[in-house]
Amino acid sequence: MLKTIPLTADIQIPQLGFGTSQLKEAAHASILHALHTGYRHIDTADMYGTHGAVGAALRESGVPRNEVFITTKLWSHSVAADKVAPAVDRFLDELQMDYIDLLLIHWPSEEAQPEETLPAMQAVLDAGKARALGVSNYGIDLLERAIATSVPVVNNQIKHNLEERPDEVVAFCKANGITVTAYSPIKALGNAATQKVVQTLSEKHACSPQQLALAWLLAKGLIPIPRSTKPENIEANFRAQGIAFSAEDVAALDAAA
């Protein structure tokens, strides 16, 4: 049930991940339930304050570290060239881990100049503290600057759901070998016209609109990272991987925007 897609020649990322923002006091239990359900890709960030909960839940789950893919992100106070390595050391301390699978620049900012921050992230990669590097909320201009640094940027995490569809950025990423993670994948289910198509397809596949939104993103080759505090939703979202979505289903939802 766990599909992976290649990030690099050597690294696979489980295509469905579990988001950990805004989980608050439910973070530990929700992440633990996600791991018990079968999720093997957890998305965290310095800003979410969930490093500790991710590490503790993983240890409690008994799932070996090398079977779980951990993404985290540098916030704007940690992206200056001299701040990246100490921040990553702090993240590893909070996570109680030896390495991060995917380290991202969380948000474009004055402080986050790709030409400064990405080489500092490359040094973290070279030190074995991260396995892959990427960015988040990057449009085409910033992606072009990132690519020009020659630092291997293999992922762009952007908002992508039935309402917001940054198709041009996705096409640019695909053309440049950059995988795309879809955040807030189920937060918005689109306008009335979209929701009509969602309802028809949800009935066809006997699933919820949220599961349908995830199946659509998975069928498009994106990496959705839904978040939930409810065990039944955590499990339902995981089962979205089993929905047999046809090319016609994808086309119908693509056209419904």
Ligand X SMILES: NC(=O)c1ccc[n+]([C@@H]2O[C@H](COP(=O)([O-])OP(=O)(O)OC[C@H]3O[C@@H](n4cnc5c(N)ncnc54)[C@H](OP(=O)(O)O)[C@@H]3O)[C@@H](O)[C@H]2O)c1
User: Rule CB under 6 A: which residues touch ligand X?
Assistant: 19-22, 43, 106, 136-137, 157, 183-187, 208, 210, 225-230, 233, 236-237
Nearest residue (beta carbon) to ligand X: 19
CB of 11 to ligand X, least distance (A): 20
CB of 218 to ligand X, least distance (A): 14
Q: CA 89, 182, 138, 133: dihedral to nearest 10 degrees?
A: 30
Q: Rounded CA gap, 168 and 91, in Å?
A: 33
Residue 202 makes CB contacts below 8 A (sequence gap 6+) with 208, 209, 211, 212
Which positions are catalytic?
Answer: 48
Is 176 or 208 the residue whose CB approaches ligand X more closely? 208
- C-alpha span between 37 and 44 (Å, rounded): 18
Region of 114 please: left (phi>0), alpha (psi -120 to 50) or beta.
alpha
Distance of alpha carbon 193 from alpha carbon 207, whole angstroms: 19
C-beta of 9 vs 56, nearer to ligand X: 56
Q: How far is the CB of 240 from ligand X (least distance, A)?
A: 8
Q: Which is nearer to ligand X, 186 or 218 (CB)?
A: 186
Helix (H, G, I), strand (E, B) or coil at 130: strand
Radius of gyration of the chain (CA): 18
Min dist. Cβ of residue 161 to ligand X (A)? 6
Of residues 109 and 233, the one with the C-beta less far from ligand X: 233
Minimum Å gap between C-beta 108 and ligand X is 10
CA separation for the pair 70, 174 (Å, rounded): 22
Q: Which is nearer to ligand X, 70 or 124 (CB)?
A: 70
d(CA 68, CA 35): 9
Sign of CA dihedral 158, 162, 168, 173: positive
**CA-based angle 31:36:40, to the nearest 5?**
70
Cα 112 to Cα 174: distance, rounded to the nearest angstrom: 23
| Nearer CB in complex with ligand X: 5/127 | 5
- The minimum distance between CB 9 and ligand X, in angstroms, equals 25
